[in-house]
Structure 1
Amino acid sequence: MRIVAMGYDKQQTKELLQELAREIARLNAELDEAYAQIDDLEKTKHTQPANTIAPQPAQPVALAANPTPVAPAPAAAAPSAGHEQIAEVLILAHRLAEEVKQKATADAEQVTRTAAVTIQAMKEQTEREALATRGAAQVEADQIRAKAKAEADAILNQATAATREAIAQHEQKLNDLRWEMERLRQEREKQLHLMRGMIEAQIADLSKHLGTKLVVVETEPSPVNPPSLG
């Protein structure tokens, strides 16, 4: 029997097991046929008539004063050549049956070992394929997570940069408004100082013209609350 190493898919495994079952059935049939031949030979041995000389009946002998010695009866004939051939055939048949039995046992053990090796190889290959698939899935999942993290980091960095830019622009506008308010305050004080000088000069001229000293009473100006700039 020849065992061919094949792949390890389900269909090929099924075909291999079917081939092994057919081989075992063939060996069992050969063994049954050998035992049947032995049984036929045994039956032939028991049913064949014996080729021997039939024993002669004893003859009456008269007693005498001086009896004559009687020769002994001849021994039975030796078995014929046919019986010897049957015995040899039976021995050969038993030997053949034993050899067939041993061969069938050895073939069955070989089939069992081959099947065990094949199944173990299939199991190991399946485990390797499962590990490889799991490893590939893990690598792909890691790549997807890394890509998603990189995209999220890029979006976050972009949003952070845009926020910082907006805050910087807002701060710049606030600083511009502060400088403008300070300039307006200084301009207002300058105008008030000029107006005060002009009013005081006019009052002095008017007092000189009237001959009466006019007094300027200063009042607190109403406070002007600047707008809140945040």
Structure 2
Amino acid sequence: MNHAESKARRMRPQQFHETVGLGDWRVVGEGACAYFRTGSFAVGARFVQAISELPGVGGDHPDVDLRQDGVTVRLITVTDDYYGLTERHVELARQISAAARALGVPADPSAVQTVQVTVDALAGPRVVAFWRALLGYQDRANSGEDLIDPRRRGAPFYFQHMDAPRPQRNRVHVDVWVPYDQAEARIAAALAAGGRLVSDADAPSNWVLADPEGNEACVGVAGPPGPADAV
């Protein structure tokens, strides 16, 4: 596949959410994710085996996390020049969902999320170099401000450029990416637990919250579908 073909096959989160047949899946910052409630490790292992036998699965390399009660699957392309979704993930997602249904395994879209650590950086390249060495991470494609775990297990780090320190603000905060249809409930739960809303200026894609001591965190949503879109 040449560069032009690869670029043409890329998908934005909203495009993915608007595609028919992907109701089990949500894009949550780090690719498209689905959680399947297997109920046991043995059923989960059979489901993972079924995924491994899908045609063409080797070329897309889904990330699969098998636990006692469920399996999380993430679809994302990681190359030297791209980090995101492609059109090929649509058919693979449908096939994985079909394999789950064949085993009687239900999906729970509300259970997926990804977490990112964001660092305010005045001297970006020097700060990034330190964290790259400390974490054993690598640069994300086409970004000098993002580091990712090459084994795709640890939370990614984003280095937010600052022209000057902002007073009364923590320099490191957590971004929690949740499904587009779970953001309101997650924010409400955080507020009920003693948090406060700092800013909703970027809603409905991002909200800034703070805990009772002022430590900030963001809730993010990737590409919610339009009101008339089917899933």
Normalized per residue, the structure richer in strand is 2
Q: TM-score, normalised by structure 2?
A: 0.17
Structure 1-normalised TM-score?
0.17
* Structure with the larger helix share: 1
